[in-house]
Structure 1
Amino acid sequence: MRILILATLISFNLYHANAQTDSTTQNLNEVIIQENRIQIPFSKQSRNISVITKPQIETTPARSLQEVLAFVPGVDVRQRGVTGVQADIGIRGGSFNQTLMLLNGIKLTDPQTGHHMMNIPVPLINIDRVEVLKGPASRIFGQNAYAGAINIITELSDQKSLRVQGYAGDFGMKGLNFAGSLPSGKYKQNLSISYDDSNGHWYNSDYQVSNIFYEGGLDLNDNHSLRGMIAYTDRSFGANGFYTSAFPDQWESLQTTLGALSHTYTQNRFKLNSRAYWRRNKDEYRLRRNEPSFYQNFHTSDIYAIELNGSYESKIGTTGFGAEVRQEKIESNNLGNHERVLAGLFLEHLIQLGSKTDLRAGVYSNYYNDYGWKHFPGLELGFQASEEIRLYSGYGKSFRIPTYTDLYYVGPTNIGNPDLQPEQAQNFEIGAKWTKAGLFAELVYFSRNTDNLIEWVRPDANTPWQPQNFNEVRFNGIEAAFTYRWQRRSSMLQLKELMLSYNYIDASLVNQPGVETRYAFTALRNQIIGGFLVGLGSKTELNTKMRYVERISQDPYFLLDMRLDYNRIGKLGFFAEASNMTNTDYIEAGTVQMPGRWFRAGFMINLDYDK
């Protein structure tokens, strides 16, 4: 009721605003992929990259970034409950520890555990686009970008605006999101706040999630600019089945803080960005929610980092370079108190070989005070066969050091292994892209040969899980994707977007007699994603999304989701969403039974003001 009252009050002021324009006409080929150093347009990339634009985020039947990512080909999202209150993200058969999350190029790694990678302190309403790089990204971002990387991009606007969204739905869920842009002279700034909660879809699955995100930027002159951000997320939730089915009363509370300040210097063909950031994650975990004395963990991890990234364009191509120093600390009543220092050096070069061929090669060298120097070489070769067709191939080495949970955790159902060795892999891919007008198609084959794969195992159900190293594990896969976007037409019924993708992964890891594995055999084997966006008149849109998911050792399942928007880009709009319309019985992670058919509906207010 309070949400409806707020919508009514704000609507009285709509006459002050100008109509918002949709950005669906944006040419994706012109989007510059943000890799901190050498920046290349999407159309010239010799990698398998998916870009999720703002209109796609807005029209997807989803209340969280985790749910949006579930519709990206090759990305495996394993949610524990609705709206992704806790979710693991894997790419190309990789685990949640092998995917690197970034926010505007800032690494959101957590030394405690990869389960916290998705503690993103940015409301969905404030995300401009998401870039998903599939395959080894260690050469670009360093360790943890083992199987891929996901970069969340926000943008500073020079126009005053206000956006409000509210919704309510099944399981007592409700939420309110606010995002405002208030530039003042040369200073641009955004503020966004969100709150979501629910009673949960089954016993002990309630949650409360709050986010606040502030970002500011100042162009000092033509050569110098400053940008800073501070963000905070607080999420508490019942964790029935999240980590073990033996204790249905689990509960967890997480608070993540992120602060960053950067300076960019640009002079002709030279660009240099310096950045410092700090990330803190506090984790309170109870095995019995209302009986903390039975078993309780407190973890506080801090990351302090300084980065220097630059590029220089010369007659012989573009050179990228960089350096970083990062300190990771943890204070824990379970894991103990630990500290490690990581340093990295980066160098790469992009050169044109004739009019149609380009080569990009480089190396990222990291130093770890526990493991010494490690080097991640890689290269990509691209051939522009025609204006529409691009062929590419690439090689890269990836690396991941164990988390503190991997090494030191002690509990009734999980025990760490201090003798673990880092994971490393050799990666190869070859692919082709076809782009013409609104059509985009891609076909990719990839291979990842892993040494010392870290996997949690146990001999029987009465023994705690413990991580071990597995040697020579190979992943082979094929990815095929097709998307067509029609230009806006004047007919009452119009098909705006059609997409279909298929991903297949074969893993050589053999289930050993007498040993049960926890994550490896839940990786994707077959994944089919389809969808179409239909326009009904000038103000109504219907988006239908379908997923077929088959994991290596689990039963396959099919999901159908839909979203209906009215006046989405207007001053006052409304939407309705339905998830799992087929009422499928399925599990994505742990032993959490996902909900059957469920619904939610809400409103959005978009106000753009003249400068």
Structure 2
Amino acid sequence: MFDYLKKKKPIPVRLASGSFLAIIIAMSVLADDTTQLMPEIVVSASRTPLPSMEIGSAVTVITADELEKRQVRIVSDVLRDVPGIAVNRTGPVGSQTQIRIRGAEANQTLVLIDGIEVNNPASGSEFNFANILNAGIARIEVLRGPQSAIYGSDAIGGVVNIITKDPEPGFTLSTRGEFGSFSTKDGQVDMGYGSDKFTISGTVERYITHGISVADEKNGNTEKDGYDNTTGRLKISVKPIENLEIKAVGMIVDSDLDSDASAAVVNTIDGEDSSQSLQRYGLTSAKLTLADGAWDQQVKMSYMDDKTNYLNGAGATTYTSEGKRITYGYQSDYYFSTPGFANADHTATFAVERDEEEQYTNSGFSGPNTVNIVNYGYSTEYRVSLWENLFLSGALRYDDNDDLFDNQITYRGTAAYLFDETATRFHSSFGRAVKNPTLFELFGSTPGFTGNPNLKPEEGFGWDAGVEQAFLEDKLILDVTYFNNRIENLIQGSGNTAVNLASTSRIQGMEFTASTEPFENIRFDASYTYTNGKDAIGTALVRRPKHIASLIGNYSFDVMERPANLNLSLQYNGKQSDIVYDSYFPVATRTVDLDSYTLVNLAASYEFAEGAEVYMRGENLLNEDYQEVYGYGSPGISFFAGLHIKFGPF
């Protein structure tokens, strides 16, 4: 009964272009008969969790096991392997980091951490990935395509959902310490206790590096710009009675970053500027299950606060920016079956939420200023599975926005069909999404800018269709997906304010993925993305490379009857364009091309005793000299080593 689709693990999508794919196919031919890709439940693709085989949208799942085998410390680094995602960082670790999904803008991607919306209202409603370490992360889900019908504003390109770990049964304690290039030191402590009625887990990670120059060293900049980050997470779950679960999660990130200055025409040069950031996130929720498991009711309240002080070389604060969001929500899910009609299973969901955003700024020009906005969202979703082969969903959302701009209706539909005879899965989705004007665009005030309260929301319509095929008795899984997006009413600066452009950006492309486990202890994942994005006059959209690919190989084996692991990753980022804008001389603004680059990383680990592991890794082993944003440097070849010790569970 279509073993692959009934048992598969959704491909934590990686890379495949011609030669990569040939390697995977060749290895699969040698596969033994015991390897199976295992099943996976996906949390973010719908209002309720569901098996990957039922999902019509394109989604990627990255697990904690993958993060550890690759020894990824910065979350944005692993997102480079996800099809459809372009990553741009303005310099070394800790610098401003953007991601773009399927050609959409960086602030058109919604980011969740344990269900908390963390896009910063005071920073263009964008999430800066610079400060997210992998501390305590259980999985990362990337949902591509318009998702506003499920999640509201900011989800034109898609959604990144970061989920932290729940503790194992009993008491556990683990600690990790490493050091490496650029005087980098990283330490982490995890503690947890789990039982049927109560669980608690906490993580603290401290990351310090002297770094490299933010301004590219090849332009004569030699000053090192350091970065330090302290991240703490706490997660609690209580079940006072069998059908009631109460949860609370909290997270704090305290970071400091040295940066460089901008100069006329030259762009970025050495300087003594710096910034101090404090991010705080929290959520409490309760879930009550009634009618013998047929009816779930959930309430939640989430909070985010993201504050940054920008300092000059003398240590004086020149600008303060703080964004806050408080969200209240209620959701009702009802499950029922009609075995006499198409052997169908149904899920009906209704949800309502209140979202308040606040922006605080303080500068020498405008002084302190606080503005806020309140929106209400009402959404419904219906899912049905028919004959265990056809899976359909439809979602509709109405957003009652502040009087400043129009209310919005968004929608999404998905379909997946399993064709048992040929081990094929067809999947497709379509939807309309919106991005509300940001508080700065509505109310901002600088020496050269005044907000425009007459702005309209940005609008996106997109669809995709693909086919997933199993070969060689489910040992090789290939997927190809075509996507097409249209984005209208883009908000851009014009003169001394912001306006909606009367134009449409058109983006289309292809995503190819492959995954195989030719032997029990060997796995290859590959992906390749082609993206063709242009504005209304046919100019290529900046920071969207046409070609992105990656290949990951993992080999687990024993040394002296103790487990060891090798992980090799290759990441290719094709040529892309960027805009060089000079605030001193606007006429000097120009478009430049940034060269392609390939990153090669190798990680190795060995568990020399029960619960004790030594590891090391090399990054950018080809010592590529590249820029992801014009004028900003990137780290060269580097090496790291560390020790991880785990106690328990007891």
Q: Please classify the TM superposition score into its range, dividing by the shorter chain length.
A: 0.7 to 0.9
Question: CA–CA distance in 1 between the matches of 2:552 and 2:329?
Answer: 40
What 5-or-longer segments of structure 2 have no aligned partner? 1-34, 214-222, 339-345, 578-593
489, 500, 509: which is aligned to 1:477?
509
Q: How far apart are residue 113 of structure 1 and its match?
A: 1.5
Matches within 5 A, 1:200-599: 200-202=211-213, 203=223, 205-240=225-260, 245=268, 248-267=271-290, 268-286=293-311, 288-290=312-314, 292=316, 296-315=318-337, 317-334=346-363, 336-369=369-402, 370-386=404-420, 388-409=423-444, 420-435=455-470, 437-455=474-492, 469=501, 471-486=503-518, 488=520, 496-509=522-535, 520-538=541-559, 539-553=563-577, 554-567=594-607, 570-589=610-629, 591-599=631-639
Question: CA–CA distance in 2 between the matches of 1:439 and 1:414?
Answer: 54
Say if 1:51 and 1:99 are closer, same or farther in 2 by CA, change over 3 A: same
What 5-or-longer segments of structure 1 have no aligned partner? 1-24, 459-463, 490-495
CA contact (8 A) 1:531 1:543 kept: yes
CA contact (8 A) 2:611 2:645 kept: yes
Question: CA–CA distance in 2 between the matches of 1:465 and 1:566?
Answer: 57
Bigger RCO (CA 8 Å, 6+ sep):
2
Q: Alignment partner of 1:112: what SS?
A: coil
Question: CA–CA distance in 2 between the matches of 1:466 and 1:590?
Answer: 24
1:186 aligns with 2:220: no
Question: CA–CA distance in 1 between the matches of 2:246 and 2:55?
Answer: 28
Question: CA–CA distance in 1 between the matches of 2:609 and 2:46?
Answer: 31
After superposition, what is the alpha-carbon deviation per residue over 1:238-290, rounded to whole angstroms, capped at 9, x for unaligned? Answer: 1226996268443211101112110011122111111011111111123x332
After superposition, what is the alpha-carbon deviation per residue over 1:161-218, rounded to whole angstroms, capped at 9, x for unaligned? Answer: 1121111111111111111102467211001001111112123521110011111001
Question: CA–CA distance in 2 between the matches of 1:552 and 1:580?
Answer: 20
Say if 1:500 and 1:132 are closer, same or farther in 2 by CA, change over 3 A: same
Q: Alignment partner of 1:128: what SS?
A: strand
Match of 2:216 in 1: none
Cα RMSD of the aligned pairs, angstroms, is: 2.8
Matches within 5 A, 1:68-217: 68-114=78-124, 117-118=127-128, 124-157=134-167, 158-183=169-194, 186-202=197-213, 203=223, 205-217=225-237
1:600 aligns with 2:622: no
49, 52, 61: which is aligned to 2:59?
49
Counterpart of 2:523, as a letter, is E
- Farther-moved stretch of structure 1 (163-172 vs 586-595): 586-595
CA contact (8 A) 1:87 1:115 kept: no
CA contact (8 A) 2:605 2:613 kept: yes
Question: CA–CA distance in 2 between the matches of 1:456 and 1:171?
Answer: 38
Question: CA–CA distance in 1 between the matches of 2:448 and 2:109?
Answer: 25
CA contact (8 A) 2:465 2:483 kept: yes
- Farther-moved stretch of structure 1 (416-425 vs 191-200): 416-425
Q: Alignment partner of 2:501: what SS?
A: strand
CA contact (8 A) 2:572 2:596 kept: yes
Say if 1:213 and 1:366 are closer, same or farther in 2 by CA, change over 3 A: same
Question: CA–CA distance in 2 between the matches of 1:80 and 1:568?
Answer: 39
Match of 1:4 in 2: none
Counterpart of 1:386, as a letter, is D
CA contact (8 A) 2:211 2:226 kept: yes
Say if 1:269 and 1:512 are closer, same or farther in 2 by CA, change over 3 A: closer
Counterpart of 1:452, as a letter, is N
- Farther-moved stretch of structure 1 (134-143 vs 432-441): 432-441
CA contact (8 A) 1:46 1:381 kept: yes
Say if 1:184 and 1:534 are closer, same or farther in 2 by CA, change over 3 A: closer
CA contact (8 A) 2:108 2:126 kept: no
Q: How far apart are residue 532 of structure 1 and its match?
A: 0.7
Say if 1:323 and 1:570 are closer, same or farther in 2 by CA, change over 3 A: farther
Counterpart of 1:573, as a letter, is E
Say if 1:139 and 1:291 are closer, same or farther in 2 by CA, change over 3 A: same
CA contact (8 A) 1:59 1:563 kept: yes
Q: Alignment partner of 1:333: what SS?
A: strand
CA contact (8 A) 1:425 1:450 kept: yes
Question: CA–CA distance in 2 between the matches of 1:468 and 1:605?
Answer: 54
Say if 1:241 and 1:503 are closer, same or farther in 2 by CA, change over 3 A: farther
CA contact (8 A) 1:527 1:549 kept: yes
Question: CA–CA distance in 1 between the matches of 2:64 and 2:619?
Answer: 21
Say if 1:405 and 1:592 are closer, same or farther in 2 by CA, change over 3 A: farther
Q: Alignment partner of 1:245: what SS?
A: strand
Counterpart of 2:601, as a letter, is D
CA contact (8 A) 2:233 2:251 kept: yes
Count, aligned residues:
567
- Farther-moved stretch of structure 1 (166-175 vs 72-81): 72-81
Q: How far apart are residue 468 of structure 1 and its match?
A: 6.0
CA contact (8 A) 1:123 1:213 kept: no
Q: How far apart are residue 439 of structure 1 and its match?
A: 3.5
Q: How far apart are residue 310 of structure 1 and its match?
A: 2.5
Q: How far apart are residue 134 of structure 1 and its match?
A: 1.0
Question: CA–CA distance in 1 between the matches of 2:126 and 2:179?
Answer: 26
Q: Alignment partner of 2:520: what SS?
A: coil
Say if 1:185 and 1:56 are closer, same or farther in 2 by CA, change over 3 A: closer
Question: CA–CA distance in 2 between the matches of 1:26 and 1:273?
Answer: 36
Q: How far apart are residue 312 of structure 1 and its match?
A: 0.8
Match of 2:26 in 1: none
CA contact (8 A) 2:40 2:51 kept: yes
